[in-house]
Homo-oligomer: A and B are copies of this chain.
Amino acid sequence: MRDTYHDQLDAIVQDLFQMSQLVARGVTQATAALTRADLALAEQVIEGDDAINALYRGVETQAFDLLARQQPVAGDLRVLVTSLRIVVDLERAGDYVVHLAKIARRRHPASAVPDALRGTVLEMGQTAQQILDKTGTVIATRDLELAAELEVDDDAMDALQKRLFTLVLQDGGQDIEAAIDATLAGRYYERLADHAVAVGHRVTYMVTGEHAEV
């Protein structure tokens, strides 16, 4: 039988995994809300952030309690300290999902995404969802090869953001509001991916004790 202490450590990792899944689902829904001008879906995504924030607070409390009561060393200490960092990245990723949904809500019943940008935004949403699914797997399995892949996935997201900005510029300034929204949305997707990469770095540190470059 496992001891309670290690069960609690596992519970923290499980919560982090669940957060990544909620964010992954959220970004898919927020992208649909954005590209289809779906107000009800946007509201649902915005309300869904409460569950992510509740997990955030739970992980923080549990990790801190274990640090204080068990005084862990070496590997267990790294798991706890790293969890306290990962949970911030995932909570923040959840906030970006909410930001995306809020763009959809603000522009409803109009669509925040002009036709010329829709395909690229859909690709960004799909890429973000895949990255966050992979992040969840990295958290659950501590697979460092998969963690390293997140860097490559992030490059793909950066390229999509560049393409989006190029399309916004080509669109020729008929609609500044759409240009602002697309710029912000592009930035939110890119930041989501950045936080996934950060989680990958932190899991790598958790396993190896070696810091990735900032």
Contact = CB atoms under 8 A, between A and B. Distances in A.
Interface of A: 53, 56-57, 60, 64, 67-68, 71, 73-74, 77, 81, 84-85, 88, 91, 165, 168-169, 171-177, 179-180, 183-184, 187, 211, 214
The complex is assembled from copies of this chain, and their number is 2
* Residue among A67, A91, A187, A214 with max Cβ neighbours from chain B (10 Å): A214
B176 A172 contact: yes
Interface of A: prevailing SS: helix
A56 B56 CA distance: 23
A68 B74 contact: yes
Contact of A179 (B57, B60, B176, B187): B176
A57 B56 CA distance: 25
Contacts of A57: 211, 214
